[in-house]
Structure 1
Amino acid sequence: MDYQLAWQSFYQEINRADEDINLAKASLYYAQAEYPSLNIEDYLNKLDTIAEEIQARLPQRRYPLKVINTINNYIFDDLKFKGNQQDYYNPANSFLNEVIDCRTGIPISLSVLYLEIAKRIDFPMVGIGMPGHFLIRPEFEEAGIFIDVFNQGEILFQQDCAERLRQLYPQPIKLEPRFLAAVSSRQILARMLTNLKYIYLNRKQYSKVLAVIDGILMLFPDHPNELRDRGLLYYELDQWDKACLDLEYYLAMLPNAEDADMIRLLLAKIR
């Protein structure tokens, strides 16, 4: 598929009510920009097949823990999906087609796989945007459990999440209720694209950074930090007019931002 058409398809998929966004399709559409020959239906069928195999293994009484254990056994024991500990910052980890083919990924991409499979067996789950480590849980909060898909579907309770947070950050961070709140499909996609953004930045692949920021802005058109970052990137690439537009818009939204004076200096140089 053509590069621009891939992003256009992504936009069409997300340009609807959040609950109607198909996470798998949206993830595969932005992957088509990187993999032009990617066939969306092939990968949706692969997800369907995995779900059908799990459906056939489910116990008659579908208690949440039994359903989760059945999913875990098939995905992690039989199919050998796992977190990519060795090459965590490989951009392939953020593309659902690569996750399905290579059976490895990072927390959020593996979580999208799990969410899509759970949806197909009528066991709805939601994403949990805990800082530094994405989790999922059953849609009904009273279950009181969280799933760490990156770590073989490990079942966590709230105190385990607090401990996981302590392991991630050198300075103590108190587990706040908002850290365990469900996130929207748009937020999940934005987090996946943000991972790619920083990977591409570290690799100095600036054209890909721009494309990914554009994708984030399709999800959240007035996100000030993304507009600022795109403007700064345009500045580095000597695309002055585009830099001015984004940076001026950023200042209009956040005139008292901590970096506002620095942005004004850059704009003065451009003008």
Structure 2
Amino acid sequence: MGIDRMPMPDWTALAALDDESLPLLPAALLIARDEYPDLDPAPYEALVQAHADHLREEVAAIGQPPLKMAAINRHLFEEVGYSGNHDEYYDPRNSYLNQVLDRRLGNPISLAMVQMEVARRLDIPLDGVSFPGHFLVRLPVDGGLLVMDPFNGGRPLAVEELRERAKPHLGQAPDDSVLLQILSPAPARAILVRVLRNLHGVYAEKNEWDRAARSADRVLRLMPGQSEALRDRGLAYLELDHLRGARQDLARYLELVPDAADAEAIRDRLVDAGGMRASLH
């Protein structure tokens, strides 16, 4: 039995869905359609399904979930050739799922989505993990977790390596309870937001402010009122000389987080751009 799939939604329909109803693959392709407006989702749905169909008989004959995942990873990363784009990590194409499926190159979260979508079509409950740094995937096994790195061929990660990976982001190696919390499954909405935030970061670094604003706007479609996205869209609007939109977004950001570390700098930027300081206190 495969997972249920639905036609590619529009942003209004997508935003109205709860986390459990959000269709990850169609939503990821909807993000890609912003950059590739002629994108037809059907061939990409068919490609992911073909990966699953190719594996179905082999995986069904395997008893243990870790061995099932080993077969999936071998097919995706060795036979088909999906791999992490180590040479051009910040290429925005690494975040657009149509490009990932076409080029067989991606970043951790996009490769995780391919891995998850194929596994779920084979009734294997593979989840994403919003791990600090690189996105990972997890599979419940025998009362524990098998954690894998899709950016490096689906390689399983030992507990000590996970602690070491988390340490630079947390200031110290996490204990068991903190590590388990970090390894909680990421809902579809959180995965999509992370994709969009990655894109925002890439485009802001390139000074492509129209695309940066668009990425932040899509986050706000999925999570209305999200403070960082309001700030990011407002700052992009400032760069685009869209002062009215910048004032609205940044004033709302300062209402939500008045003690933010960047609050005074944002007030100053708005004043310099012709905003009204009195309305921002």
TM-score normalized by the length of structure 1: 0.90
Structure 1: distance between partners of 2:216 and 2:148: 29
Residue 32 of structure 2: aligned partner: 31
Return closer, same or farther for 1:83/1:62 CA change in 2, 3 Å cut-off: same
Residue 252 of structure 2: aligned partner: 249
Structure 1: distance between partners of 2:206 and 2:262: 25
Residue 107 of structure 2: aligned partner: 106
Post-superposition Cα deviations, 1:79-99, rounded to whole Å, max 9, x if no partner, equal 011111111111000011111
Residue 173 of structure 2: aligned partner: 174
Structure 1: distance between partners of 2:221 and 2:142: 30
Structure 2: distance between partners of 1:234 and 1:220: 19
Which residues in structure 2 correspond to 1:1-271 (within 5 Å)? 9-139=10-140, 142-166=143-167, 169=168, 173-175=172-174, 176-177=178-179, 178-268=181-271, 269-271=274-276
Using the TM superposition, give the Cα deviation of residue 139 of structure 1 relative to its aligned residue in structure 2, in angstroms: 5.0
- Structure 1 window deviating more from structure 2 (253-262 vs 201-210): it is 253-262
Structure 2: distance between partners of 1:34 and 1:141: 42
Return closer, same or farther for 1:247/1:141 CA change in 2, 3 Å cut-off: farther
Structure 2: distance between partners of 1:159 and 1:11: 43
Gaps spanning 5+ residues in structure 2: where?
Answer: 1-7, 277-281
SS at match of 1:58: helix
Post-superposition Cα deviations, 1:91-115, rounded to whole Å, max 9, x if no partner, equal 0000111111111111000001111
Post-superposition Cα deviations, 1:108-151, rounded to whole Å, max 9, x if no partner, equal 00001111111100101111111101101115682321011111
SS at match of 1:49: helix
- Structure 1 window deviating more from structure 2 (144-153 vs 60-69): it is 60-69
What amino acid is aligned across from residue 252 of structure 2 in structure 1?
A: Y
- Structure 1 window deviating more from structure 2 (67-76 vs 236-245): it is 236-245
SS at match of 2:43: helix
Q: Does the 8 A contact of 2:213 with 2:232 survive in 1?
A: no
- Structure 1 window deviating more from structure 2 (142-151 vs 183-192): it is 142-151
What amino acid is aligned across from residue 275 of structure 2 in structure 1?
A: I
Using the TM superposition, give the Cα deviation of residue 173 of structure 1 relative to its aligned residue in structure 2, in angstroms: 3.6
Post-superposition Cα deviations, 1:9-34, rounded to whole Å, max 9, x if no partner, equal 14423421211111100000110111
CA RMSD of aligned residues (A): 2.1
Post-superposition Cα deviations, 1:31-84, rounded to whole Å, max 9, x if no partner, equal 011112211011001100000111122152431111111101111121011111
Q: Does the 8 A contact of 2:139 with 2:146 survive in 1?
A: yes
Return closer, same or farther for 1:182/1:236 CA change in 2, 3 Å cut-off: same
SS at match of 2:143: helix
Structure 2: distance between partners of 1:232 and 1:65: 46
Structure 1: distance between partners of 2:20 and 2:111: 20
TM-score normalized by the length of structure 2: 0.87
What amino acid is aligned across from residue 183 of structure 2 in structure 1?
A: L
Gaps spanning 5+ residues in structure 1: where?
Answer: 1-6
Structure 1: distance between partners of 2:198 and 2:169: 21
Structure 2: distance between partners of 1:16 and 1:141: 33
Give the number of equivalent residue pairs.
263
Q: Does the 8 A contact of 2:149 with 2:157 survive in 1?
A: yes
What amino acid is aligned across from residue 226 of structure 2 in structure 1?
A: H
